[in-house]
Amino acid sequence: MERRGSKGKNKGEKAYLVLEIVENGELFDYIMHGGSLDGSLVKYYFKQLIDGLKYLHEQGFAHRDLKLQNVLLDKNLNLKIVDFGFSIPLTGRDGTSKLRTNLGTNGHKAPEILRGLRYSGTAVDIFASGVMLFIMHTGFPPFKDASLGDELYSIIASRNAEDFIAVYGQWTKEPLNASFRDLIFGLLAYNPEERLTIAAIEQSTWITEDPPIATKEMITEEMGKRCKKQEVVVEEGLKKEAKIEEMKERPYLSSPLERNPYQGKRMPIYDSKLAKATQFFVESYFGDVVKSIDGLLIRGDGYNKKSKEYDPFTIKYTQLTGIEGEEEATQFILSISYVRPGLFSFDFTRKSGSSEAMVDMYKEIVEHLQKKGIKFFQ
């Protein structure tokens, strides 16, 4: 279609992309709210992912941002790859088949991208598919980033079978058998030249033999259950947003600045797109809530507190446990933001330590505030 500017000048061609409706949402959400998939279901979706990736590469393109958030499920619960914003011809802009732009999502980027090297679009897509496979099977990412300085990735890069089973096996519902381990080692190889090709993936033992692939009936039953969980999550989210909008409209009789020790500091504005499960809203002066949390964590649980003078609304709490010299740190960030006068958001984000410790701490804070009679909602 021809494009024209405001003065009628020809501005060249404009392309429109028409896509099918993919109504069952991101595969990521099914795992986030329902946990890891059984091995047979993992194989079902991983084979579909590889089939899609094979077709894409045969057409001469690399995706460069593969992740579970970028695969959707259609009405028949089949996988569809989406978001081609970072895609590029495999030949590259200079025809050398070596790409150079640092693109992708942290935790899914191949080592060569992190090292600033020129790379193969095919190889980095294969690497990202390995991260996706691991998350589908275990429910958590295999490492923070694919550098040799990352303790977890170094286990995979060195193909240390014993440590792989010892470290990752204790966190999974199903045992990590040798065929799955070998496939992961091949997909996530540090050297792109040693990474598996699509053809090698299709012939791997895990794909061809063990475990059996899920039937369509199994997919419909299991993912149907997870769809219902998704509907509950969405409904709760909509209720939460409606509650926030209602609270914004309520009149507020006194200014929080009258008792604000941080007067003159700019408090962040609440962004509903960043809503989390470990978050609540307070209908009273935020400083009183902070004092109450401090009383519980610092005096009760032995946490240390740290914030910066220019940003008093971002507070870091750290708790050390274990014997001296071998302490483990549980650390989280409390971020306070403004919703409307008299309504503030308290958002907790884990920085280190286990997710379970973070959730337990959050529940403890909520129960503490309830006992204190502080008015809030989640």
Contact 142, 131 (CB under 8 A): yes
Residue keyed to tokens 């962040």: 268
Is 65 assigned a catalytic role?
A: yes
251 cis-preceded (ω within 30 degrees of 0) = no
**Neighbouring residues of 89: CB distance < 8 A, sequence distance ≥ 6:** 60, 61, 62
Give the residue from 366, 307, 312, 303 showing the smallest Cα distance to 330. Answer: 303
Catalytic residue among 29, 38, 51, 65: 65
Q: Where are the alpha helices (DSSP H) in 203-333?
A: 205-208, 216-249, 286-294
* CA triple 105-107-110, angle to 5 deg: 85
Residue keyed to tokens 């589908």: 136
Whole-angstrom distance, CA of residue 123 vs CA of residue 183:
15
Contact 153, 145 (CB under 8 A): yes
Angle between helices 121-138 and 27-34 (to 10 degrees): 30
Q: Give the Å distances, CA to CA, from 16 to 2, 13, 378.
A: 11, 10, 42
Whole-angstrom distance, CA of residue 194 vs CA of residue 275:
41
Contact 66, 16 (CB under 8 A): no
DSSP assignment of 37-96: PPHHHHHHHHHHHHHHHHHHHHTTEE-S---GGGEEE-TT--EEE---TT-EETT-TTSS
**Neighbouring residues of 117: CB distance < 8 A, sequence distance ≥ 6:** none
Cα torsion 159, 151, 139, 61: sign: negative
Residues with a known catalytic role: 65
